[in-house]
Amino acid sequence: MNSLAIIFGIITLVFIWFNLLVSIKIIKYLQSKGEEVSLFNSGFFVRGKIFKYLPLYKKLSIESDGKVGHHYVNFYVTFFLMIIFLIFGIAVVT
């Protein structure tokens, strides 16, 4: 197995975990503002649900702080870096 592919895979996993952590922090922020939000649907984790809550997080953080919360930017940065390193890893394997 190519060691470069393993390195890209590990980096991708780190970005996935960091993105999940940021998603949980966004959900906790929204819940602290009184919104009923969850990343789970009938007990199952649904990854795509966070994209529904990002505009709400942006709106609420602008209303309370006057600027977009830092988790908003962190989410997109980690998401796109995860996609980039995933593509690099797949390209190295093929």
Query: Residue 45: its pLDDT value, please?
Result: 62
CA atoms of 48 and 61, how far apart (whole Å):
21
Residue 41: both structure tokens together = 């649907």
Number of domains within the chain: 1
Distance separating alpha carbons of residues 91 and 58, to the nearest angstrom: 34
Beta bridge partners of 45: 40
Structure tokens at 90: 């797949």
Q: What is the pLDDT of residue 2?
A: 80
Q: What is the span of the domain harbouring residue 89? A: 3-93
SS3 assignment, position 44: strand
Per-residue pLDDT reduced to its tens digit, 15-72 = 999 998 999 999 999 999 998 888 777 666 666 788 889 999 999 999 998 999 999 9
CA 75, chain centre distance (Å): 4
Q: Which residues does residue 26 pair with via DSSP β-bridges, in sequence order?
A: none
pTM as predicted? 0.85
